[in-house]
Amino acid sequence: MGLIVAKFGGSSVASMDRIKAIADRVKSMRENGNDVVVVVSAMGDTTDDLIELALETGPDRNHREMDMLLATGEQQSAALLALCLNNIDCPALSLCGWQAGITSDNNHSKARIIDIEPQRIIKEIEAGKVVVVAGFQAVTEQGDITTLGRGGSDTSAVALAASLGAERCQIFTDVNGVYTADPRVVTEARQLSSVSYEEMLELASLGALVMQPRAVEFAMLYQVEVEVGNSFKNETGTIITGVVNMEKHRIVTGVAHDLNVVRFAIFDVPDKPGVAKKLFKALAEAGINVDMVIQSAMRDNRNDIAFTTEENELQKTIPIVEKLVQDIGASGMTCGTNVAKVSIVGAGMQSNPGVAATMFEALADEEINIHMISTSEIKVSCIIDQERIKDAVRSLHKKFSLDLAD
């Protein structure tokens, strides 16, 4: 057969029993004639426990040293899985990021992979071994250990699959795959057999966090076909791939929602060049990610500006906005966390101009008020009252017939 890169997340390696179950699964992949490279996250709470220890060292968190500390979690689970595999007569060897040839920039704690030199991995595969790579970590050209940010093991797996020209990249997690909506909200939600990279990106960044968005970007860039599936079940997951031919008739693929939203509004902003720049530059410098932005129609040479950001940025954002209101001579501001975002995502909507209208109609039928709207080529998002979010998701799921099989 071919080469499989299989990634197992933190909950899949949370205990020795689970690590042993993974070892059995990997062994059967081998017995089916595949070469296997496994990428593992740290065991269960290891990373959080290490962060807790680091908190005790004082207020300053040196990112280089944090990476040095946190990288040990994946090294441990990689070594333990290799020990398990050897114990069931499946020759295996573990490698840290630096041993696997994964180099990154030196942006500690959220480094980006810049190259993979997989000679050592290839040598061990050719020697008949399963190679277990510690995910989430890399090394700089200067020889410092870096980590790739939360969920970075997904990126490790996709990057290795690309570099090794793997047949398949399987991301094993604790969900069955990607759904048309959150099954906890919509009981009729269906698991998708496939989604495109672009759809997955929109779905992932909208809250269906089965896979790190950067890993999806990487997969798209290098055209790596990824399967997301449940590590505790032996069923087919969702394939994330380029053009999804078999479902091309589908206009909307899924409904995503996100409660982690706070909405800011600034009133009576003077209509002068550079005002918006001033605001968003100040927010960017503070590391605050702005999601949606709306500038209302001019009225007496004064505008209203509204934007959303993540709820945990609330306290950081307020003083920045308050200062700006004074600086630019606006009349005031408000902010509210009682809102949520609902989005429809689908590659098919690019050629179907009526999709947004259908969405608004569905929300209107439910008497759900829309506060903000933003659209992209394959997504329409609305900010609505948080208390109506479940109604919105259910009505949209029904309106676009997502409960019906392809």
Interface residues toward a second copy, by CB under 8 A: 16, 19-20, 50, 53-54, 56-62, 64-66, 68-69, 71-72, 75-76, 78-80, 82-84, 86-88, 93-94, 96, 98-99, 120, 143-145
Nearer to a second copy, 104 or 317 (CB): 104
Please, which residue, 63 or 398, has the CB nearer to a second copy?
A: 63
Name which of 149 and 183 has its Cβ closer to a second copy: 149
CB of 143 to a second copy, least distance (A): 6
Cβ atoms of 41 and 172 closer than 8 Å:
no
**What tokens were used for 1?**
């057969």
Cβ-based nearer residue to a second copy, 38 or 219: 38
Kindly list the strands in the beta sheet with 370-376, ordered across the sheet, starting from the edge strand earlier in the chain.
254-258, 339-345, 379-385, 370-376
What is the amino acid identity at position 156?
Answer: S
To a second copy, the closest distance from the beta carbon of 28 in angstroms equals 17
Decide whether 16 or 286 has the Cβ nearer to a second copy: 16
Q: Which residue type is seen at 169?
A: C
Among residues 23 and 29, whose Cβ is nearest to a second copy? 23
C-alpha Rg value of the chain to the nearest Å: 23
Q: C-beta of 82: minimal distance to a second copy in Å?
A: 5
> Please, are residues 363 and 382 in contact by the beta-carbon 8 Å criterion?
yes
- Identify the CA nearest to 39 among candidates 136, 150, 175, 177: 136
Q: For residues 340 and 206, what is the distance between their CA atoms, to the nearest angstrom?
A: 11
Rounded to the nearest whole angstrom, what is the least distance from the CB of residue 54 to a second copy in the complex? 6
DSSP-H helix ranges across 110-257 = 119-126, 152-164, 197-205, 213-222
- What is the Cα–Cα distance from 257 to 278, expressed in whole angstroms? 30
Beta strands 113-116 and 130-134 are unpaired
CB of 315 to a second copy, least distance (A): 24
Give me the least distance between CB of 144 and a second copy, in Å please: 8
Q: What is the DSSP letter of 200?
A: H
Which residue, 17 or 300, is less far from a second copy as judged by CB? 17
Q: How far is the CB of 193 from a second copy (least distance, A)?
A: 36
Rounded CA-CA distance 70/54 in Å is 10
Residue 254, number of CB atoms within 10 A of its CB: 28
Q: Report the C-alpha gap between 167 and 161 in whole angstroms.
A: 8
Taking the least distance from each CB to a second copy, the nearer of 60 and 126 is 60
Q: State the minimum distance, in angstroms, from the CB of residue 68 to a second copy.
A: 4
Count the neighbouring beta carbons within 10 Å of the beta carbon of residue 349: 25
